[in-house]
Structure 1
Amino acid sequence: MMILKKIESQIEIEFDSDNEAEIVLKSIEPELMDSPSERTETEIKCKDNLLIIKIIAMDSTSFRASLNSYLRWIDLSKQVLELKN
């Protein structure tokens, strides 16, 4: 039986523009201060029109919870941006 020491993943989400990616990053930055789980470390940054999310978790449950939280916040931010246009 193999025991996982940690789970690490990087997800890239492409936006229509650099500005849109930056706005979404700014909207979810406060969530980085209060991580969804103490068992995860999350780094989020922009590179051009990409939002890059790096998650390191101690177990699959905390990884999934963290990923789901950030994806929901990103989706909500994107929906708010679409309302503005």
Structure 2
Amino acid sequence: MKALTKVEAQFEIEFDSEKEAGIVLSAIKPEISDSPSDRTMTELKCDENILTIDIKAQDSPSLRAALNSYLRWVILSQQVLELSR
């Protein structure tokens, strides 16, 4: 059996407001430039209250690691937003 050579995933996360989505985007965007791995490429964008995370990876373990990281950062950012309310 041949291993996958390229894998990708796209997540859309809906927030209560456009402002919240923008705050989370601003919080996690620096992680793209500081990525420790050159095996993944990530794009983040906001469209109104929807945050889209697009990840392309060379292999499935890299994709899984990137997904876990970005989702943890989104959850953490959302928890901080909730504390500030």
TM norm structure 2: 0.95
1:40: Cα distance to partner?
0.2
Which position in structure 2 is the counterpart of 1:57? 57
Overall identity of the aligned pairs, in %:
62
Which position in structure 1 is the counterpart of 2:68? 68
CA contact (8 A) 1:14 1:49 kept: yes
1:29: Cα distance to partner?
1.1
> For the residues of structure 2 that align with 1:82 and 1:37, how far apart are their CA atoms?
31
Which position in structure 2 is the counterpart of 1:46? 46
Displaced runs of 4 or more, over 4 A: none
1:22: Cα distance to partner?
0.2
1:35: Cα distance to partner?
1.5
> For the residues of structure 1 that align with 2:54 and 2:42, how far apart are their CA atoms?
6
Q: Structure 1 regions of 5+ residues with no counterpart?
A: none
Q: Figure out how many residues of one structure are paired with residues of the other and give that number.
A: 85
Which residue identity is paired with 1:59? Answer: D
User: Does residue 1:3 correspond to 2:3, yes or no?
Assistant: yes
